[in-house]
Structure 1
Amino acid sequence: MVRASTDKSGGYALPVFPFKRPPELDGRHRRYRVVVIGAGLAGLTAAVDLAQHGIDVVVLDEDNTVGVRGASSRGICYAQRSLEIFARLGIAQRVLAKGVTWSVTKVLSGEKVLYEYDLARTHTSLQPPFVNLQQFYIEWFLADRFEELNTGEIRWSSRVTGVAAHDDHTVLDVTTPEGDYRLEADWVLDAEGAGSFVRETLGLQVSGERTPDRWCITDVRVSAPLPHERWTWVDAPFNEGRGVWQHLMADDVWRLDFQMDEHCDPAEVSRTEVAEARVRKMLGDVPFELVWVGPYFYRTQLLDSFRHRRILFLGDAAHVKSPFGARGGNSGIQDADNLVWKLALILRGEAGEALLATYDEERRAAAQTNIRVTQRSGRFMRPANEAEHVFRRAVLSLAGEHVFARGLLNTGRLCTPHDYRGMSAFGAPGEGVGASVPNVELNVRGETCSLMTLAARSHGRLMLFVDDACPDLEALRAALVALPVDVYVLGGDIAADEPARTHLCVPHAGAALIRPDSHLAAIVACADVTQVRAAVACALGQPTLEPERLA
């Protein structure tokens, strides 16, 4: 990655990306296939994914660096599902090498541990349950990966200042340091964030609410060793009985989130002297270095539809929720994972535009769930009325001794993959259909690889795993040859050990259809050609399969 310099922003050294003069400023115009607005988590994940599909993409970002100036720490917890996506995109090893892996979470009241759980106990994926890493590093790795793929370009210092949406394309006005220009795109992915200019300019309807809860992030480098665990105080005695989170990130920096009084002055609580006093009260005589401080509040926000003509919304441009349980950035990453393979098939003429209806259906449902879950966590951490205070006091008093009460401790239900069970792309119900399949190790034709490796090689095609006891494999292969489906035979292409069969959900003499985003699309008890074709049609958003009409 070519960088002119680094910028010390809020205590972190961020890369500075040079502005490159676009051809439109010299009068050379063309219509692009895909333009992504916003080089944040969701936008860069989508851009890298598109580039891996060989789709030329232009990314527009109004800044010239990653992260947000003065708020560089931001999101820090990346869940197993996001790490699996990063594995498919080729940056997982960099994330793991730089970040801090953890699996133990504890909830405390005062000095007492009320609940402790190790997420590794039920873990099956090749990726760990969670990795903590400052958000700007993830964006930095994605930007580097995009350049490695050499398909498309990121246009830094390029702000969208106008938008016109048409049925078959979108026109964008772009302002740069060297002048303004107009750009046309077949498809636009809006990942600008919560204050999306495109969404606001088009007057699209959103619903939501602000909350009175106030927090202050304090990033510190601590000299003494602290446990590599997620600790949450519901009522920390060193924070006037309010909540506190404690996480270790990269560079030996601890992320401490302090819940503030709802009437606090954000400028006052984030002053260096005030922040240092708050940390000293928590850590005692332990030496520390203040790295960055930033106040925040949160709100909920949900776009009525994630598609407007040829514009698709993802990440905070589509939905905003509180940060409890790491459901913000991870959700945007999963939006991109859900969307891009569908758009890639459409651009290649292997699926019709009807497939995009499943993006809106599935990811809007995921956003609704995340908003509901985080709202409940917010009400537990800051009760809204006396009845909620009574409930919380009862839970805290009982949780230390009674298992049932520990399940009621709600300091943030940790991010998990959304289960699309019962939605339109998943056809007949079956055990696990709609759920995410963990990234398991597979032996494919003598090579040790993983489900995410196969997903990357599929380039957006569905993956059908068939038991070698299927009565007519050749007829099945022939029936799928013109469709975007890769067929793998357990006992042939893939070693049919019991763990592989169980994780891939393949029944004896049957088949399992898995989407490129690793969600189980269908289980066919007997790998009948008609049933398999029907499952493929459903996964592609088609009532029936007519390959010659998909384009």
Structure 2
Amino acid sequence: METFRFAAPYELPTYPFVVPPDIGAVTRRRYPVVIVGGGLSGLTLACDLAQRGVRAIVLDDDDTVGARGASSRGICYAQKSLEIFDRLGIFERIAKKGVTWSVGKTYSGDSEVYGFNLDADSISVQPPFINLQQFYIEGFLVERIRALGSVELRWRNRVARIEPHPDHVVACIETPAGDYALEADYLIDATGANSPIRNQLGLDAHPSRSTDRWCISDVRFEKPLPTERWTWIDAPFNDGRAVWQHLMGDEVWRIDYQMAENSDPEAISRPEVTGSRLRRQLGPDVEFEFVWIGPYQYRDHLLDEFRHGRVFFIGDSAHVVCPFGARGGNSGIQDAANLGWKLALVLEGRAGDALLDTYHAERRAATVENLEVTSRTARFLAPRSPAEHTLRRAAIALARRYAFARPLVNTGRMSIANPYPPAPWLPQGACSVQNVPLLAADGQPTRLVHLLRDASALLGLWFEPSPADVDAALQAAERLPVRLVAIGGTTRLPTLGDPSGTLARHLGAAPGTLCLLRPDGYLARRIADADPDALADAVATALAGSRALEPA
């Protein structure tokens, strides 16, 4: 029997425990924001708040990033998430360490059914996807938070229970140096799928677990393979079941094998069993070593409400979807980007509490869409009825010859920035704006998300405005949480260049149009005639009716 090699395990960073100043304090301390959980969504929110200068604390019961004993976990980071990371200042590190890809191929049996190139519709500075092990992203976020200041990271601080109140939340915390309690204006639960806070509050997440079983194999090959996403619907080397193949950082391949529903998780993860599958796939002469092997089973859940008073749920504590198309971790990152700017504005007194309610409305709608998309993928890959089996066979057969049938072959619709439906604060709905390259006034290249770094609230992109309109609008803008920037033209506004007209076409903006962007990169409103009243009304609407809080 062949003996398979294992690479040395990853050494995760260890962060020191520091005795919190709250222990032994005479009075209980109050903090604007307390984030419970130092995983992907919690750290993204912490970094977002740190960049906005909001004072916050992250409480994590561990002293490292990632998951001990696991390797890759989340690996695929979509363009919207990469744009968020660009705004937060860690994208360059991710791009350097990770693997950029845009080409995917889908196989049935031994033949290719169809392929795609996600670059075709992209105008962003960021690529469609970068693959990188999740613990690297979390580590980059920790270092960036430390550099920004204002947010304190407290390791080995376990939240034992919380006590919600109308105007604050009390968190009772256990540490190696003793217990303490603190108060938070707002508490964010980012503790993950098994959230103890959610359980303590008795909130039903409506969980379901698929009978579908999989085995993850993180493998390093001596011979390089193409940097593409390959999927098999019915791989001959995996007993006619599905397989995913992705390259990650450190030249490690993540290969996911669909297993029989009645398979034993321990048995399918043994090195000799996994190695035998790899041999059937790659042949007897390919040299490789294992980095990690682990079984998993799909599950999903969805909270009815993402906000409960002053407690907010983000990431897996609020929702879990099947990982088809990388819609899990990316959704948590985007939860954080949605909530961060809203918390900052409310804490600054520049928006009312109603703005925070829009977090639930927008992000739950996004999760419902993701659940619907991933559910269709799951049923295509594991049909449950004769009719579903017939549909799958027909779709595969037609896709080999006809382009119209290829979208029916569903091996995972890749994660996108979910559009938000029309709402009182979004009369036209909202779509994400790609990170288009621009030219600064000195002719140096810049990009859209760098403007969002500096936006105090909303960002008004005014395309070739007339000087007279600008003079009138500037007086109104002084009383509003909005920053105006001209795209082309000559006015008193800061001006950027869009020489190819890419941004104007992307936003559907004719000369004179003002596009109101939110700090999370969503288009809130397009204004054809930007007089002062129209601007004030648009800003108030986008902030969920917060016009009464405009400074005098």
Partner of 1:386: 386
Q: Structure 1 residues 459, 525: closer, same or farther in 2, change over 3 A?
A: closer
Q: Establish whether residue 518 from structure 1 lines up as the match of residue 521 from structure 2.
A: yes
Tell me how far apart the structure 2 counterparts of residues 179 and 10 of structure 1 sit (CA, whole Å): 36
Q: Establish whether residue 434 from structure 1 lines up as the match of residue 433 from structure 2.
A: no
After superposition, what is the alpha-carbon deviation per residue over 1:255-281, rounded to whole angstroms, capped at 9, x for unaligned?
000001111111111122222222222
Tell me how far apart the structure 2 counterparts of residues 508 and 528 of structure 1 sit (CA, whole Å): 15
Q: Establish whether residue 487 from structure 1 lines up as the match of residue 462 from structure 2.
A: no
Partner of 1:450: 447
After superposition, what is the alpha-carbon deviation per residue over 1:500-532, rounded to whole angstroms, capped at 9, x for unaligned?
322344322221111111111111112222222
Q: How does 1:27-66 map to 2 (within 5 A)?
A: 27=25, 29-66=28-65
Q: How does 1:465-504 map to 2 (within 5 A)?
A: 465-469=462-466, 471-490=468-487, 491-492=489-490, 493-497=495-499, 498-504=501-507
1:471 CA drift (Å): 4.6
Tell me how far apart the structure 1 counterparts of residues 99 and 434 of structure 2 sit (CA, whole Å): 21
1:307 CA drift (Å): 0.5
Tell me how far apart the structure 2 counterparts of residues 338 and 9 of structure 1 sit (CA, whole Å): 39
Partner of 2:178: 179
RMSD between aligned residues: 1.7
Q: Structure 1 residues 464, 351: closer, same or farther in 2, change over 3 A?
A: farther
Structure 1 residues 462-471 or 394-403, which shifts more? 462-471
Q: Secondary structure at the match of 1:472?
A: helix
AA matched with 1:451: L
1:470 CA drift (Å): 6.6
Q: Structure 1 residues 496, 403: closer, same or farther in 2, change over 3 A?
A: closer
Query: Does the CA contact (< 8 Å) of 1:232 and 1:411 recur in 2?
Result: yes
Q: How does 1:133-532 map to 2 (within 5 A)?
A: 133-284=132-283, 285-427=285-427, 429=428, 434-446=430-442, 447-469=444-466, 471-490=468-487, 491-492=489-490, 493-497=495-499, 498-532=501-535
Tell me how far apart the structure 1 counterparts of residues 339 and 7 of structure 2 sit (CA, whole Å): 33
Tell me how far apart the structure 1 counterparts of residues 510 and 502 of structure 2 sit (CA, whole Å): 13
AA matched with 2:133: Q
Q: Secondary structure at the match of 2:219?
A: strand
Q: Secondary structure at the match of 2:460?
A: strand
Q: Secondary structure at the match of 2:162?
A: strand
Q: Establish whether residue 71 from structure 1 lines up as the match of residue 70 from structure 2.
A: yes
Tell me how far apart the structure 2 counterparts of residues 42 and 460 of structure 1 sit (CA, whole Å): 22
Partner of 2:3: none
Moved over 3 A (4+): 459-464, 547-550
After superposition, what is the alpha-carbon deviation per residue over 1:23-79, rounded to whole angstroms, capped at 9, x for unaligned?
122335411111111111100000000001111111011111111112231010000
Q: 5+ unaligned residues in a row in structure 2: which ranges?
A: 1-5
Tell me how far apart the structure 2 counterparts of residues 228 and 9 of structure 1 sit (CA, whole Å): 21
Structure 1 residues 370-379 or 468-477, which shifts more? 468-477
Structure 1 residues 396-405 or 253-262, which shifts more? 396-405
Partner of 1:4: none
Tell me how far apart the structure 1 counterparts of residues 550 and 449 of structure 2 sit (CA, whole Å): 30
Tell me how far apart the structure 1 counterparts of residues 547 and 53 of structure 2 sit (CA, whole Å): 25
- Normalising by structure 2, what TM-score? 0.95
- Normalising by structure 1, what TM-score? 0.95
Query: Does the CA contact (< 8 Å) of 1:127 and 1:439 recur in 2?
Result: yes
Tell me how far apart the structure 1 counterparts of residues 382 and 413 of structure 2 sit (CA, whole Å): 15
Query: Does the CA contact (< 8 Å) of 1:467 and 1:506 recur in 2?
Result: no
Q: Structure 1 residues 352, 462: closer, same or farther in 2, change over 3 A?
A: farther
Partner of 2:548: 546
Structure 1 residues 504-513 or 435-444, which shifts more? 504-513
Partner of 1:3: none
1:11 CA drift (Å): 2.4
Q: Secondary structure at the match of 1:407?
A: helix
1:210 CA drift (Å): 1.4
1:548 CA drift (Å): 4.7
Query: Does the CA contact (< 8 Å) of 1:326 and 1:415 recur in 2?
Result: yes
Query: Does the CA contact (< 8 Å) of 2:458 and 2:539 recur in 1?
Result: no
Query: Does the CA contact (< 8 Å) of 2:71 and 2:291 recur in 1?
Result: no
Tell me how far apart the structure 2 counterparts of residues 356 and 466 of structure 1 sit (CA, whole Å): 30
Q: Structure 1 residues 364, 470: closer, same or farther in 2, change over 3 A?
A: farther
1:495 CA drift (Å): 2.3
AA matched with 1:457: D
Q: How many correspondences in the alignment?
A: 538
Tell me how far apart the structure 2 counterparts of residues 307 and 462 of structure 1 sit (CA, whole Å): 26
Query: Does the CA contact (< 8 Å) of 1:466 and 1:527 recur in 2?
Result: no
Query: Does the CA contact (< 8 Å) of 2:480 and 2:550 recur in 1?
Result: no
Partner of 1:126: 125
Q: Secondary structure at the match of 1:16?
A: coil
After superposition, what is the alpha-carbon deviation per residue over 1:398-457, rounded to whole angstroms, capped at 9, x for unaligned?
211111211101110000001114133222x3xxx5111100112232242111000001
Structure 1 residues 275-284 or 55-64, which shifts more? 275-284
Tell me how far apart the structure 2 counterparts of residues 509 and 466 of structure 1 sit (CA, whole Å): 5
